[in-house]
Amino acid sequence: MAFVKMVTNQVSDKAIIGQNVKIWHFTYVGDGAEIGDNVSIGSLSHIDYNVKIGENSRIEGQVYLPPLSRIGKNVFIGPAAVLTNDPYPMCEKMVGVTVEDNAVICARAVIKAGVTVGRNSVVAMGAVVTRDVPADMVVIGSPATPRYTREEYDKKRKEWKES
């Protein structure tokens, strides 16, 4: 019987990993990635080279963060969300996505290369974001468009939790 070596995670020895970081099963973290303190990265995620993730952020399973992605502090990225870095595939010139502090990216959202997701904003599940998201806004749809404020979102969330 053949012996098969099982590798569960691939974390580069050139990555900088903060304290209290949790990296779940079958996850890749590339060279030069910088992951802040108290970050959680879900199973089957791909955090490519030169990605930066701020402290207290939570990256759910099956998320793809390509090279040059910049994720702020206290960010939530839901399952199977995809950020891109090549606006005209296959091109040698790439540009990352920036997700500012306290933003929420919901499940299966796709964000185009070069886009900035503003501070405290929310990208709805399944949204296709092709241009910058203003701070404190909720965007929905394909292409994503602003629908209401983060304040309204937080109110709806609170009402739902209390019902």
Domain boundaries, the chain: 10-162
**Alpha carbon distance 132, 46 (integer Å):** 23
**Alpha carbon distance 14, 98 (integer Å):** 22
Instruction: Show the low-confidence residues of the chain (pLDDT under 50).
Output: none
155 contact partners, CB below 8 Å, separation of at least 6: none
Give residue 105's pLDDT.
Answer: 98
CATH class held by domain 10-162:
mainly beta
**What is the pTM for the complete model shown?**
0.92
Give residue 3's pLDDT.
Answer: 67
Half-sphere exposure of 134 (CA within 13 A, CB side): 9
- In angstroms, how far is CA 43 from the centroid of its own chain? 13
Give residue 92's pLDDT.
Answer: 87
